[in-house]
Structure 1
Amino acid sequence: MRRIHLLLFGCCLIPSTLMAQELKSDYIQWGFDSHQFANKLSSWSKANPTINEDDNFFISRVRPKTRFRNVDTQVRQDLTDANDKKLLAWLPWNVPSKNALPDGVFDSEVFSMWPYVTHWGDWNCGLGRIPASLLDVAHKNGVPVSSVAGIPYGSLKSDWRTTLNNIATSNVQNAAAFMNYFGYDGLGYNSEYTEFFGAGRVTKALRDFHVNLNKAIKPYNPIYENLWYDGTNDQGRIAFDQGLNDNNKSIFGEGGSEAANLFFNYNWNADWLLQQSVEKAEEINRNPLDLYAGINMQGGEPRHGSRWTLLKNHRISIGLWGAHSQNMFFESRGEKGSDPETQQRTYMLRTERWFSSGSRNPVNSIAINNSLNYNADNTDFAGMSAMMTARSSMSWDLAVEPFITYFNLGNGKFFNYGGVRQNDRPWANVGVQDYLPTWRWWFASKLLGRTAADVPANGLDAEFVWDDAYMGGSTVRVHGSTSKEYLHLFKTKYALKSGDVITFRYKVKGGKADASLVFTTEDAVNTEKAYPVLASTDEADEDKWVEKTITVDGSLNGKTLALVALKMENAADLNLYLGEFSIVRGTFDAPAKPVIAKTALLHSAKNGVDGKIIFNMPNSKASGEPCYNTDVKTSLFKLWAKQEGKEPILMGVTTSWAGMYYSVPVDVKGQGKIKFGVSAVSLDMKKESDIAWGEDHDIFTTYDYSDEIKADKSVIKPNEAFTISYVDPRHEAGNWKIEHNGTAVASSNNTTEIKVNGLNQVGFYDLVLTGYVTENGTRVSKEVRYSNYVQITSDAVGAVPHINKLTANDSETSIEVVANSEVTMKYEGKKADGSGSRGIKTLEKPVGVKVSELGLTNNNQPWSLAFWVKFNSLSGGTQIVDMRDPGTGWPQNNWGTFWSTYDPSTGVYELTLRAKNGGGSPEYKQRWKVDFIPGAWTHFTLAMDGNGTNTKPMLYINGKEAKAHNWQIGDRNGEGLCEERFVNNGWWDANILGISLGRHSTAAMNAVIDDVKFFNKYISAAEAAQTMTSTSTTEGGLKAYWDFEADADASHYFTSKVGNAKLAHGELKVGTGEGVASLVPDAPTYDAGSAFVSGNYQVKTTAEWTAKKATIVSQNGTDMAGTAKLKYAKAGDYEVTLTLTNAHGSDTRTFQVIKVKADPTGINGTEAADMKVYAIDRDVLFDVETPGNYLVQVFSTNGQMVASKAVSVNGAESVRLHLGAQGVYVVNVKKDGKTLRTVKFICK
């Protein structure tokens, strides 16, 4: 028996829970703006097509698909070529600084409702430069994308006159070749200008240019379309709201001389105007559907009269605008919370309800109304599907390109490939978005059921999720119960042939169903051909992707596939994840190896490394001609990174010939070089080129240190040991000191952490840290005081639970049992239960009171608001306290009398006082430095020193004046506390004084609040300190006091212990008009309140056991100890996770591993039973009984392969791996290329 020793170095693998790195302004160079576009056109040529070295981030590599019509697979069969509206989304993408470029931020825009869009005008893209990612996803869906000239309103300025004139005089053929090469599908103009001189000469010349450009480019790009905001007419004069007439018909263009399609301004909603426009379009041989009725989504325009109820009756299309920097779907996606996944889900709901219908199922015939709401609960909106069909581009020759989708949106919190986790870094690249369900959740109880009666009232539902994926970071989840239901997936037009292989891949997370893939063909669209793929007797396995294949035979040979659906019968609590649907004809060659043009390391920090790669593919295309991925036999490209001495990591994929890397995990104590690589994947996703690697880059030469610190406990008890340390493993040593009331009680010098054996006195302690920080790009030594960083709370109020010991059958290491035998899990904890004050969770929703009930009639009165707060988390721009009337008009419903926001990245709390009319008085801003520490209680007091005429704010934190940072009044500013006062005349009688009220572009609080007090006077620091722990109702000036010890009433209001004012937790329910809302109380959620206030809220610890594929026979437990009895029916290696939770927090531990054998002899076991896998301290042992060729691979939890060893075994042998670093690892063992076992374990 021989032993194999494998040593793993690098004990400081970067944690996976850190903040994401993201696209910065210097990572990718755009190259030019709208004003420079004409010059770029004049200097560009096919012979020399390069703008700059980053061109590949702006060149589409997906040939635009063409869409088809098939009335038999439409939901609404009364929509024809003549009345099927188009939709122009003249909207910004994501945020202006990033647009659709690849990013490291998961919560990025990944629009997916392409079937209901016929043109995307990227409003925050200047003329002639569009990110390839947006182009690629739009092109695969048959949607053109254009850029926009953002011409300002009014007289045409000289710079824009020059720009437009230069464009108009450009060589048309060269311009067409430029647009064709880069893959741009149109030019758009925010045309609301007047030419006061020249009788419209520039406008007319530009029109002629557009006519000729259309003629030149249409043979290459049939979906090309120019756009013109109908604010400037043929004569170069502003002329809004006239519809199509003789004064703008030449800008629109006659049939055969099309110039630019018109986007009507927002007062089009008159029957005569629309009818006149239709008639004029027909008169000049144009399709009236090339005219777009503008909808201002930001301003709620048209403001008056009918909108949709009028537009539906006319052959005029739909144009969406709003706003300048972000579209309204994306901009206020925080309405349900600031958690990134919550925001993504909210964005998805907003777009699904707007486009497919308020029910997210276009079959539910919701009556068309005139609403312009776009919120996540927009359930009574008919949707765009009421006036247009869902378009599809799925109609190409399968011999040229297979149809493959993995249901991936193009973003994620991790990246999976082939169902295996490759890394756990957030990412976004909409260019790799897959083909997605056409109609967006067309459920019906019968095939092609088109009426609301065909939709079960309580049937199945579907949604996108971001917790699993076969490829990418998301997929479709189908869930619920039903006796029989169809989910119509894809509208297609594929000519099938015998031998075509159809693959369906899925994962059953829970429940059961009988499921079949259903196909219909154009010659018999109502006749289903069903192929079973799942039986209700199949066992759910949340870890297993199941693959089913169907080979096309004679019954489908020569038929045109019209519809793909999934039929589910006998579904009970089904939880089904979709992984793949594909149709592949034959085999496809591996692509050539990419040729790297450049790689660069852009940023290095504790989170990892950012980089980029630019490459080309060998091809035979002439210079300046477009080359698509299909031309080079490629579906997509894999992006690789490799640290010296480590295995390559797959960081993501791209369709562009350039890629970005964000937060590549590196061993910060390892070797200091990294390189980036790329490989090309075949069209059928089955073959791959060799990896092309760039040069080595030094990781640590320009390392960006993080000065963040962390404590190992969020709740600390008297005499309990704790540690505070730098988060960055590479941080320089510092001098640490903990002070209580100015006296040092603990210290540690020239270290990267301070270990404290315990502090015996309950209360607040400051941390004083002298060490290196980054200021203005330079490392300098500086003393930083973290006020109240350490909080010692009494044992009586309870503590965060802690698991001291976890065993299986009394063993702390792996055990072996036979199937169906009982396993006894036990744990030992510590005292964590207790009782104290009761608070309420904000849940990122408002807690408010009417100012009229507080006796306030203006904000120049003196008042103070005090409360305890414990943040669970902090996002950028968190709303703390403000005062406004959400029911008044925009934008006052968003601004109000005052607002205040906290930025955790800078530690700055900013209070803004505003006049009623924005131009009537400048804003008054006062800023303080505040350290809000998630998990710790902070007492917050905002005091307004009003004198009846004007006012001045003050902030107290934990009974002390907060450190004034700086101030600003209009264009004047200064350091520290502003001594000036402000006439705060912005006032609405219906104002609400709100905590966590939230507003446009800011998050409400994810926190717990307690002991809310309102004083009708300006209180001092001494009074603020006194009220922190006081429960008295007789404090001077106390007007209202809510301690939450008594339950809210039946209407969910808390009555004050002083006076009659009522306070409620609630939700801002959307009204009519932008931003208009009302505070509707809801049932509060109680939680443990401030540890420094007395009360009777009971803190109890609960135990939760998670044991996959086990039956939990019995369980019990407290904070101190508990047990659970489990049984496993099948052989395998299993882990059991225990979580202890109470109101203060939780602790989790996983036991690894329970090896279950099929029977005592192992004779009937699987081949995997011939190998025993277990861990002892930092040694992992594999006892091998069967000869063969074995491959042992070890991965960190972020997907990085940290070791690999191949070994040939001739008989019973033992393989030992010694790991040099503690942590969690995953070991995969293959025999002769087949995976035998994958085991997760903890290396101690």
Structure 2
Amino acid sequence: MNPTRRTVLLAGAAALLSAPPAGTAEAAPKTTAALQPYASYWFPDSLPAGSPGPGITWRSLKTWRAATDADLPFNAAATPLAPRFTPTPVNTTARAGQARVQCLVSFGPTSSNPSQGSDTADYYALTHWAYMDELVFWGGSSGEGLILAPNAPVVDAAHRHGVPVLGNVFLPPAAYGGQLRWIRDLVRRDAAGHHPLAAQLVAVASAHGFDGWFVNAETGGGDSALGADMLGFVTELKRLATAAGQRITWYDAMTVNGSVSWQGALNERNQALFQSADDMFVDFRWSASSLASSGHKAVRLGRDRYELWAGVDVESGGWNTSVDWDAIVPADRPHVTSLGLYRPEWTRGHLPAGHTPEDFHAADDRFWTGRSLDPSRPDTTDGWRAPAVSVADRSTVASLPFASVFNTGHGLRWYEKGEVTSDRPWNHLGLQDRLPSRRWVVRTDGGRPTVALDFADAWRGGSSVLVDGALDRPAVLDLYATRLPVRPGTVVELTHRTDTGAVRVELAVATAEPDTAGAAPPYTYLPVPAGPGDGWHISAVRLDGLSGTVHALGVRLTATGGGPVGWRLGALSVHDRTDTPAAPRGLRITAASGGDLRLAWDHPAPGTVRHYTLHRVLPDGTRRFLGGTGQRAYFTGGQAPAPGESAVRIEVRAVGELYTSSAPSTVIHPR
């Protein structure tokens, strides 16, 4: 990739110049070292000259071992990759089974990227997973480390939506500190002719729970011998990765002769490397003719043309980027290749200082859905051909129980049952729900209300869905494409609140697909009880009289009084039984430095747990939310006893898919 596209890497280059008894902390080891865990990064083997900059730790991948990695419990993903299905496309322009979408995203710096979220809502809380097929955890620098393992929250969120996540192997140009010795370290063979670091990469991905590697070699000056070694390395890496259920993407930079010469195409100079990987990112230098020839060549090689990602650099321009869309995803003939979006976190990065979470999601909706902000009504005159215009959305909502509190993975406060239990901003993508994929489809003969993820109030987590407008005609809001079985006793529960005006709410349920792409689901409308008084209401709707499979869920809203309506949806669940997970066991403090604590616990049935929540119990019995995680380990800082406290009491609860919480497990941290 061009050096001008290395914003996230420059900072790093500049930086170059036995467990205690459960329920007690008395036996916890004391340390003055920083306990905050961070996402892992390494050099292949040899380290840079000099000393690392502040906050940077130089590590060798060659010497890494899972058994001695103290941060691994915080960095290992807990959510398996969910299977996905493709519903009937919501519009007539999107295609299923053709172009796919890969994203190269920098969620934070290479070093000092917290393992489990942080105390700010200003975060790239990506939610449009339905259009994505592969996520690359982008970053790396010669001053910090070249090999990045994705942190657990990103992997957990992506896996919940069926998206595999790749770590990044970045060997930078010499202009940015790249050295050929690091490539030679990476591809070195042992006495048996194998590549030890290929096995190490696969072991790292297995231990951390992500899905493979993006290999990006851009250090120039290599020769044919180095090119042959790289080809052998990628071939062995692919073989080992396939055996472990992982995948490898090769970036179009180094050629088979060892030189760096971005081709912008699949051709004889890189086809052997493509053939040794699962797919290839085609550099931004492509043209319409080079993509066409690349697609044809992939087919001649017995490969799928959609295993080529045509790179589109949106880091600086976002939806203002000029792109020859017909060269990739033409509207009038089959797609040519897949689409590789470089740095779509522009949707956050371009916003002015002081922007809100609502500002970010409005921009992100515009990027993924298009100018119409309704994927069922794509604006074909928009110069930005949003993914929703060309690519059919996917869903993982295919088993009971299913629940969502419309949590985006960041917020200004934390809510539990409508009450604020922490007034601190936060982010943790691993707590993100499966959100509506088609944001926002509104079907009405009248004025279209505004629909948005709102952070001013929530039932649980940090956000809810707010519908606001005149509603001069009934409006149907599509929520989820599903494949949920209807069984005796199946119930849909909605937690909702009317803030302004008066509105009648009906549940929209479709037990079949639309007849054609772009058609509305064949909904049946079932009344939703309003509930007494003001505030949040939990309304249960039984699916009696329906059978088969629920293919779509939504709501129909009808204003019943004059003036505008403000209606809020805080939670939705579908189930035929309740689930309450068992309590965590063996809660312990594994390290402490003042009020900075590392906690760990066990669970008899981790597969029944969606995530864990941690609370501090104050002397008056008030519970204050500290955080949540999918892992069975957590770091929390600043938990020294307050005046009047002899010790800090912390509770951990397991939370099930229906947001039912277990009994607490408690640990005491003395003064």
2:70 counterpart of 1:70:
no
Deviation larger for 121-130 or 173-182: 173-182
C-alpha separation in 1, matches of 2:629 and 2:320: 43
Q: Is the 8 A contact 1:102 1:659 kept in 2?
A: no
Q: Is the 8 A contact 1:121 1:146 kept in 2?
A: yes
How far off its partner does 1:238 sit? 1.9
Letter paired with 2:253: G
2:214 counterpart of 1:185:
no
C-alpha separation in 2, matches of 1:539 and 1:590: 31
- Which of 361, 364, 379 aligns to 1:366? It is 379
How far off its partner does 1:652 sit? 3.2
Residues 138 and 490 (structure 1 numbering): CA distance in 2 closer, same or farther, change over 3 Å? same
How far off its partner does 1:488 sit? 0.8
How far off its partner does 1:265 sit? 1.4
Q: Is the 8 A contact 1:508 1:577 kept in 2?
A: yes
Residues 556 and 461 (structure 1 numbering): CA distance in 2 closer, same or farther, change over 3 Å? same
C-alpha separation in 2, matches of 1:236 and 1:369: 42
Residues 27 and 304 (structure 1 numbering): CA distance in 2 closer, same or farther, change over 3 Å? closer
- 2:104 maps to 90
How far off its partner does 1:226 sit? 1.9
C-alpha separation in 2, matches of 1:189 and 1:593: 39
- 2:285 maps to 267
C-alpha separation in 2, matches of 1:52 and 1:697: 27
- Which of 264, 267, 271 aligns to 1:249? It is 271
How far off its partner does 1:645 sit? 7.1
C-alpha separation in 2, matches of 1:305 and 1:577: 38
- 1:614 maps to 600
Matches within 5 A, 1:1089-1100: none
- Which of 656, 665, 668 aligns to 1:691? It is 665
Residues 165 and 297 (structure 1 numbering): CA distance in 2 closer, same or farther, change over 3 Å? farther
Q: Is the 8 A contact 2:75 2:115 kept in 1?
A: no
Letter paired with 1:179: A
Deviations 1:238-291 (A, max 9, x none): 2323411222122122xxxx51421111121x2221111111111122221121
Matches within 5 A, 1:618-633: 618=604, 629-630=606-607, 633=608
Structure having the larger proportion of residues in strand = 1
* Paired-residue identity, %: 20
- 1:588 maps to 579
C-alpha separation in 1, matches of 2:130 and 2:115: 19
Residues 50 and 130 (structure 1 numbering): CA distance in 2 closer, same or farther, change over 3 Å? farther
Q: Using structure 2 for the length normalisation, give the TM-score.
A: 0.82
Matches within 5 A, 1:121-160: 121-124=136-139, 127=147, 129-154=149-174, 157-160=180-183
- 1:739 maps to none
C-alpha separation in 2, matches of 1:166 and 1:486: 61
Secondary structure class of the residue paired with 1:507: strand
Q: Is the 8 A contact 1:594 1:680 kept in 2?
A: no
How far off its partner does 1:512 sit? 1.9
Letter paired with 2:643: K
C-alpha separation in 1, matches of 2:406 and 2:638: 25
C-alpha separation in 2, matches of 1:411 and 1:393: 21
**Greater Rg by CA:** 1
- 1:329 maps to 347
C-alpha separation in 1, matches of 2:615 and 2:148: 31
C-alpha separation in 2, matches of 1:176 and 1:470: 41
Residues 470 and 493 (structure 1 numbering): CA distance in 2 closer, same or farther, change over 3 Å? same
Deviations 1:761-820 (A, max 9, x none): xxxxxxxxxxxxxxxxxxxxxxxxxxxxxxxxxxxxxxxxxxxxxxxxxxxxxxxxxxxx
Residues 603 and 228 (structure 1 numbering): CA distance in 2 closer, same or farther, change over 3 Å? farther
Secondary structure class of the residue paired with 1:149: strand
Secondary structure class of the residue paired with 1:35: coil
Q: Is the 8 A contact 1:127 1:187 kept in 2?
A: no
Secondary structure class of the residue paired with 2:477: strand
- Which of 216, 226, 236 aligns to 1:209? It is 236
Letter paired with 1:216: A
C-alpha separation in 2, matches of 1:489 and 1:393: 13
Deviations 1:64-97 (A, max 9, x none): 10111222x532366131x2x2111102014553
Residues 320 and 524 (structure 1 numbering): CA distance in 2 closer, same or farther, change over 3 Å? closer
Q: Is the 8 A contact 2:493 2:574 kept in 1?
A: yes
- Which of 86, 95, 102 aligns to 2:117? It is 102
C-alpha separation in 2, matches of 1:156 and 1:651: 43
- 1:961 maps to none
How far off its partner does 1:421 sit? 2.1
Matches within 5 A, 1:692-731: 692-693=666-667, 695-698=668-671
- 2:22 maps to none
How far off its partner does 1:411 sit? 1.9
2:655 counterpart of 1:681:
yes
Q: Is the 8 A contact 2:406 2:465 kept in 1?
A: yes
Matches within 5 A, 1:448-597: 456=446, 458-482=447-471, 483-522=473-512, 526-533=521-528, 541=534, 544-553=535-544, 555-557=545-547, 559-570=548-559, 572-597=563-588
Secondary structure class of the residue paired with 2:480: strand
How far off its partner does 1:420 sit? 2.3
How far off its partner does 1:522 sit? 2.8
2:397 counterpart of 1:394:
yes
How far off its partner does 1:641 sit? 1.7
Residues 603 and 384 (structure 1 numbering): CA distance in 2 closer, same or farther, change over 3 Å? farther
Residues 368 and 263 (structure 1 numbering): CA distance in 2 closer, same or farther, change over 3 Å? farther
Deviations 1:863-889 (A, max 9, x none): xxxxxxxxxxxxxxxxxxxxxxxxxxx
Residues 502 and 637 (structure 1 numbering): CA distance in 2 closer, same or farther, change over 3 Å? same
Residues 584 and 200 (structure 1 numbering): CA distance in 2 closer, same or farther, change over 3 Å? same
Q: Is the 8 A contact 1:505 1:548 kept in 2?
A: yes
Secondary structure class of the residue paired with 1:556: coil
Q: Is the 8 A contact 1:494 1:562 kept in 2?
A: yes
Residues 416 and 171 (structure 1 numbering): CA distance in 2 closer, same or farther, change over 3 Å? same
Matches within 5 A, 1:649-664: 649-661=624-636
Residues 187 and 597 (structure 1 numbering): CA distance in 2 closer, same or farther, change over 3 Å? farther
C-alpha separation in 1, matches of 2:342 and 2:43: 20
Letter paired with 1:389: A
Letter paired with 2:107: W
How far off its partner does 1:599 sit? 4.9
C-alpha separation in 1, matches of 2:420 and 2:337: 48
Q: Is the 8 A contact 1:517 1:533 kept in 2?
A: yes
Secondary structure class of the residue paired with 1:347: helix
Structure 2 portions without partners, runs of 5+:
1-32, 47-58, 141-145, 516-520
Residues 310 and 201 (structure 1 numbering): CA distance in 2 closer, same or farther, change over 3 Å? closer
Deviations 1:701-751 (A, max 9, x none): xxxxxxxxxxxxxxxxxxxxxxxxxxxxxxxxxxxxxxxxxxxxxxxxxxx
Deviations 1:661-716 (A, max 9, x none): 3666x8843235324331223343335033131x4143xxxxxxxxxxxxxxxxxx
Deviations 1:634-679 (A, max 9, x none): 1221202235675543333222222343666x88432353243312
Deviation larger for 592-601 or 494-503: 592-601
- 2:423 maps to 424
Structure having the larger proportion of residues in helix = 2
C-alpha separation in 2, matches of 1:132 and 1:305: 34
C-alpha separation in 2, matches of 1:304 and 1:345: 23
Residues 515 and 127 (structure 1 numbering): CA distance in 2 closer, same or farther, change over 3 Å? same
Letter paired with 2:659: M
Secondary structure class of the residue paired with 1:359: coil
Matches within 5 A, 1:305-320: 307-313=324-330, 314-320=335-341
